[in-house]
Structure 1
Amino acid sequence: MTDLKSAPDPYVLDVTGANIPGEAARLRERGPLVPVVLPGEIRAWAITTADLLKELFVDHRVSKDTYRHWPAFLAGEIPSDWPLITWVSVRNMFTAHGRDHQRLRKLVGPAFTGRRVAALRPQIHQIVNDLLDVLAARPDGEVVDLREEFAAQVPVRVIAALMGVPDLLQPRLRVCVEEIFSTAPARDPALTFAEMVELLTTLVALRRERPGEDMTSLLIDHRDEGDRLTEEELVHTLLLVITAGFETTVNLLDQAIYELLTRPELLARIRADTVKWPHLIEETLRYAPPVATLPLRYAVTDFDIAGQHVTAGDPIIAAIAAANRTAIPSGPDVDEFDPSRPTTEHLSFGYGPHYCLGAGLARLEATVALPALFARFPDLTLAVEPASLTTLDSFISHGHQELPVQLTRVPASANGR
């Protein structure tokens, strides 16, 4: 069996994210557990199959707690300007393990119950319609970056409403979120992390002074009641919810719109009701997951699995874009985008104890936003050749830098408004 340090020819992940599907395929070809190289020449294991990912995500021998189970971090070997530093240095339920994770998850969970998420539907409809009104006011046929002016704006406004984020903080928070997801950042990641913490500390101060019905105020109440939540955990929990709530949903909308605009026959099938919007959304999540690679877990002890010897302290990443292609029964079409397939399974929201609390909200935003967009602009078309679109500078965040489209309005009577 091979261990991580002696593994020959580990796969070097492309920090630019130039071809995530191609990289996912190459990783799968190497096996279910693949030695890879992260930025900074840091070696890690990449899980590339759904079965192994599920197994290890519920295995007590695997942890997300950097401060307990990554010796290299504790020894000061991970520099503060490492591109993934925010992912491993935060103290919230994303990096918590065992009882700490259960404690933190119980504090956040009530904000994402099915009932609370469903109650947001009217507000999401209003946000989407307001954005579409703005787009409809643009000159007919004008080219618009739909990622920026629609796909990004929906989750920005939804998460701001959910968290009680005032307008003055939103622009810089969004910049920081995008920088955190970049694996080839232009700015020192330590500066991004520091600014993010400063902005969220300001948010906490504002909500302490003027509490509301938002989640930030709710978490402040938990913090101020006693020792259930430290001040650092409070700020870092806000970081997690805001970061995850934005980037995953904007990429989901971006990728779904792209698939529809490059497959006119698919849009016709949706309009004929032979393909349902929820099926399209789930297939998008499987085929083009918003988060392609998720850092970072650690081996708690030595163990052998999938023909490899994992040593205590070894970092582990989830290659979700690779694993998703193995999440459905094997066949010639697993690499095809097909929302009409009988079964669509994926791991884009994780699995096990760390399953994404915001999965229901992301699905709801997409379920509201996508039909409304194509109802208002039924003749929407890409303004450039698909091959000319550039990807985000990240092997984590899976989306396009821009999504230029040509808007063509229809009369108000034709879309029911």
Structure 2
Amino acid sequence: MTAAPTNPFAEHVGKHPGEPNVMEPALLADPFSGYGALREEGPVVRGRFLDDSPVWFVTRFDDVRDVLRDQRFVNNGAAARGDSAEDPLSRLMETLGLPVHLADYLRGSILNNDAPDHTRLRRLVSRAFTARKITDLRPRVQQIADELLARLPDHAENGVVDLIEHFAYPLPITVICELVGIPEADRPQWRAWSADLVSPQPDRLGKTFPALVEHIHELIRVRREALTDDLLSELIRTHDDDGSKLSDVEMVTMVLTLVVAGHETTANLIANGTAALLTHPDQRRLLQGDPALLPRAVHELMRWCGPVHLTQLRFAAEDVELGGTLIRKGDAVQLVLVAANFDPRHYNEPERLDLTRHPVGHAENHVGFGHGMHYCLGATLARQEGEVAFGALLTRFPDLALGVAADSLERVPLPGSWRLAALPVRL
């Protein structure tokens, strides 16, 4: 029998007693309790990142929000230090076996950039995610959801079907691929590639990432010959009209980021949220009895079981005092969203799922989508997809139930992410 590949990041666990590592089994299995304990230990706690580099964990709601909007914390570690020392991204690429020539495709991401590049890149794609355009897209999202649910019984075995495989993933990947302009024939391959990119076995990334970059280059070459009204065509027009606004690398990276980020997190929100509703019958009945509650419900589910628990690393661009701790210029900061979203200093009974918690007409009362200049670009689309998914699912299958015991649902052990391996449900 072939042994399962060893995760190279797990080798660092336990090397620094008293400094929690994001790969610790206890944090992976129960991040709510694990990071919650760190939050009560102090507002800023010393720990270790994937590659064993030192990091400051920031866990309390007000502090997390403050750092997210504080421009003294940046995404570019080398720029923060003001030197050419190897940054965490370079170390991660080496560990993952990624070719050096692909480094720019990671550094060029809108997720890794700071102002002014981040502002420029965000402006180029933000027009596709305006509230009006997302609203106009809703009938199509509803149509896709209805079609998937109509076919759901065909996939059932003994009345049980994996909701992730046949609904939670297909819905958002279809929506974002149509929006960006990924041909339907390519979408199964994109889904496989996306699974590799977020796999707990990082060795798969070394093969997948180069293939994905080359595929997007080819997609651009083909689309350039027959432009349409999708986002990819718009990016090509921007590049061809004024290359100073968008480079080749930035265009490829933008497509990659939008498609992967545009469906992975939403798929896991739908899966996590459905599991939460099925294990909280009082909240489920509340939602079924009042569909107008859906927008507030999505906010609460994003807080209570959102798919993203950790942000990307931030780096102090100057000495900053936070929570009574001096964070030196160049130090890495890890913002812990899952701890902030359960902070008893901000919420009454944070462990309780309450679909009415989010006040009507008030600003977002959680950090599931981030905050500040790096607030999730697709948050409006994700919320809409969640509203459509939960509403359509509970309407079509009002007696939906888990197909296995709740405590036997398996989670993927991936730091910073809260995802189910499968969600068996009985229709």
Pair in the same fold by TM > 0.5: yes
Moved segments of 4+, more than 4 Å? 74-77, 83-88, 138-141
Percentage identity across paired residues of the two chains: 32
Cα deviation, 1:154-184, whole Å, max 9, x if unaligned, reads 00100110011013322232233233334x3
Listed as ranges, the matches of 1:192-271 within 5 Å are 192-226=208-242, 227-271=244-288
Letter in 2 for 1:10: E
Which residue of 2 is the match for residue 11 of structure 1?
Answer: 20
Structure 1, unpaired ranges of 5+: 1-6, 408-417
- Aligned to 1:78, the other structure's residue is in SS state helix
2:91 paired with 1:78: yes
Asked whether 1:396 is paired with 2:416, we answer yes
Tell me the amino acid that sits aligned with residue 406 of structure 1: R
Counterpart for residue 414 of structure 1:
none
- Residue 11 of structure 1 and its aligned partner are, at CA, apart by 1.0
| Secondary structure of 2:313 counterpart | strand
Q: Secondary structure at the match of 2:386?
A: helix
Per chain length, whose mean CA-contact separation is higher, i.e. which structure has more relative contact order (CA < 8 Å, sep 6+)?
A: 1
2:118 corresponds to 1:109:
no
Q: Which amino acid aligns with 2:318?
A: T
Normalising by the residue count of structure 2, what TM-score does the alignment of the two structures yield? 0.86
Q: Distance in 1 between matches of 2:178 and 2:288?
A: 31
Residue type of the partner of 2:340? A
Greater shift in the superposed pair: 25-34 or 226-235: 25-34
**What is residue 7 of structure 2 aligned with on the other side?**
none
In the alignment, which residue of structure 1 is the partner of 2:319?
Answer: 302
C-alpha separation in 1, matches of 2:291 and 2:88: 57
- Correspondences of 1:311-326 after superposition (within 5 Å): 311-326=328-343
Work out the CA distance in 1 between the residues paired with 2:307 and 2:17: 31
Q: Which amino acid aligns with 2:207?
A: L
Aligned to 2:366: 346
Match of 2:142? 125
Number of matched residues? 399
- Shift of residue 215, structure 1, vs aligned partner: 0.7
Q: Which amino acid aligns with 1:192?
A: T
Name the CA distance, whole Å, in 1 between partners of 2:305 and 2:97: 22
Say if 1:275 and 1:339, in contact at 8 Å, map to a contact too: no
| 1:53 to 1:79, Cα distance in 2 relative to 1, 3 A | closer
Cα gap change, 1:139/1:147 in structure 2, threshold over 3 Å: closer, same or farther? Answer: closer
Deviation of 1:138 (Å): 4.7
Tell me, what secondary structure is at the counterpart of 1:12? coil
Cα distance in 2 between the residues matched to 1:383 and 1:9: 40
Is 1:379 aligned to residue 423 of structure 2?
A: no
Q: 1:209 Cα shift?
A: 2.2
Deviations 1:358-394 (A, max 9, x none): 0100011111111111111111111111111111231
CA RMSD across the alignment: 2.5
User: d(CA) in 1 for partners of 2:210 and 2:406?
Assistant: 37
**Residue 82 of structure 1 contacts residue 189 of structure 1 at CA under 8 Å; is this kept in 2?**
no
Q: Which residue of 1 aligns with 2:109?
A: 92
SS in 2 for 1:241: helix
Closer, same or farther: CA 307–8 of 1 in aligned 2, 3 Å:
farther
Deviations 1:56-93 (A, max 9, x none): 12222211124523665349961424469889933122
1:56 to 55, 67, 70: 67
Q: Distance in 2 between matches of 1:63 and 1:21?
A: 26
- In the alignment, which residue of structure 2 is the partner of 1:42? 53
Closer, same or farther: CA 84–326 of 1 in aligned 2, 3 Å: farther
1: CA distance, partners of 2:88 / 2:160:
51
> 1:375-415 deviations in whole A, cap 9, x for unaligned?
111111111111111112312221201000112xxxxxxxx
SS at 1:40's partner residue?
A: coil
